[in-house]
Amino acid sequence: MSSTASGKSGTWRNWAGNVTARPAREVTPASVEELSAAVRKAAEDGLRVKAVGTGHSFTAAAATDGVLIRPQLLTGIRNVDRENMTVTVEAGTPLKRLNMALAREGLSLTNMGDIMEQTVSGATSTGTHGTGRESGSIAAQITALELVTADGSVLTCSEKGTEEERAVFAAARVGIGALGIITAITFSVEPLFLLTAHEEPMTFDRVTSAFDELWAENEHFEFYWFPHTGNTNTKRNNRSAGPEKPVSRVSGWIEDEFLSNGVFQAAQLVGRTVPATIPAIAQISSKALSARTYTDIPYKVYTSPRRVRFVEMEYAVPREALVETLRELKAMVDRSDMRISFPVEVRTAPADDITLSTASGRDSAYIAVHMFRGSPYQAYFTAAERIFTAHEGRPHWGKVHTRDAQYFAGVYPRFGEFTALRDRLDPERLFQNDYLRRVLGG
């Protein structure tokens, strides 16, 4: 008897609460074979199919009124290959579980995003990334993929396959769910290493004027600018010979839980209720976190807890355009009457060879704007998006944006390559939804 759980579905909501969907049914397959059967059955019933991870996308990339695939039974490590330094993991595995399992094996991913609540397939399919001078997104660390395509067949692809498999591999690493449902991912890994993080406040003028040097001197550099202030908080992560010096439990609780989540949440609630208080709160917030240095294993340095819920837009601009873009964003906020309570996050990534990666073919810098959940964000995001698109910005596939296929065809040189592959793999648009129709065309 099959262990696939299937049934009538209620309303599905994403993490931020800004996207809802009412699928006709939900399926929780316990094997690749059960997933293939669910895809074929959906096609027979004339229903579209989408897989959903933990709902950390702010777009409707996973929303469907058809069959919603929940991959929580497709989890765990399938294989650790120490000779080739790869690990193959089931698609529904949360990044947190993968990171902890790798650490127990004395292994690590090279780079990570700043949270690890997402599933490996959800994170890679939307192009989730951290920051790095030479190391790219999570998807850039993939060496092979397994996916169920529209006819229910299982396709394995890598750079070493046939011409068609190489084309699928180039596209499906950041496939936005358009080419099939990923069932397993093989990542390149390396022996577990230590990172030393140095966090310190810096003025906006200093960080922007010295950005090229700060980027060049550090393996991983990022910073947060607090709107309505001239202040930023910077973070530099570099490999270390040790010894391990984790954040102490007391200072970790004060910085990461109390200040970054507890007090920050309270400040956001005050700001949402009384927007006039936001500039004063921003001044205090921007000076609340002190300089600190600590050394730990990678995922404990790259990631941090995020309990305050928000809505986010993020664009990748050419790295050389970062400082100008950011100064334009600051000037726009300074002259407007908008009240922005959330810091702006800035990161970088090297060029990669993934068809629709936001760093495809160009060294990139990311600017992420956020608003506290429940606050009106449209005016701010619209004004920010106008600045980002003037610099040929590419929006994160899982974050709020208003761009369409016509725009993407202009900023992605290989856009036509992706849509042609989609025509071959999913001619009937089994994996289509409203979001994909907008961003990829019908």
Q: In this predicted structure, what is the pLDDT of residue 268?
A: 63
User: What mean pLDDT is predicted for residues 147-176?
Assistant: 97
- Compute how many other C-beta atoms are within 10 angstroms of the C-beta atom of residue 442: 8
* DSSP H or E segment with residue 129: none
* pLDDT(2) > 50: no
- Cα–Cα dist 92/70, whole Å: 8
Q: What is the pLDDT of residues 360-399, one digit of tens each?
A: 999 999 999 999 888 889 999 999 999 999 999 999 999 9
What distances in angstroms separate CA 252 from CA 12, 246, 248, 292, one per listed residue? 34, 9, 6, 10
Q: In this predicted structure, what is the pLDDT of residue 1?
A: 34
User: What mean pLDDT is predicted for residues 143-161?
Assistant: 97
Q: Which of 13-22, 343-352, 428-437 has the lowest mean pLDDT?
A: 13-22
Sequence-separated (6 or more) residues with CB below 8 Å from residue 139: 124, 125, 127, 128, 173, 174, 352, 354, 357
Q: Give the pLDDT band of residue 112 (cuts 50, 70, 90).
A: very high
Q: Domains (ranges, CATH) in the chain?
A: 5-69 (3.30.43.10), 77-191 (3.30.465.10), 196-402 (3.40.462.10)
Mean pLDDT score across all residues of the chain: 92
Q: In this predicted structure, what is the pLDDT of residue 252?
A: 55
User: What mean pLDDT is predicted for residues 148-157?
Assistant: 98
- Cα–Cα dist 93/147, whole Å: 15
One-letter amino acid of 224: Y
Residue matched to tokens 């890598």: 158
- DSSP string over 346-383: EEEE--B--TT-TTBTS-EEEEEEEEETTS--HHHHHH
The whole-model pTM stands at 0.92
Q: What is the DSSP letter of 261?
A: I
SS (H, E, C) 139-179: HHHEEEEEEECCCCCEEEEECCCCHHHHHHHHHHCCCCCCC
Comparing CA positions, the residue from 425, 442, 401, 429 lying closest to residue 149 is 425
Residue 238 backbone class (left: φ over 0; alpha: ψ -120 to 50; beta: rest): beta
* pLDDT(209) > 60: yes
Q: In this predicted structure, what is the pLDDT of residue 286?
A: 62
Comparing CA positions, the residue from 191, 241, 184 lying closest to residue 32 is 184
- Cα–Cα dist 329/344, whole Å: 10
Per-range mean pLDDT, top range of 50-59, 255-264, 286-295, 430-439: 430-439
Helical spans, DSSP H, in 173-237: 204-209, 211-217
Residue matched to tokens 């294993």: 297
Q: What is the pLDDT of residues 316-370, one digit of tens each?
A: 999 999 999 999 999 999 999 998 988 999 999 999 999 999 999 999 999 999 9
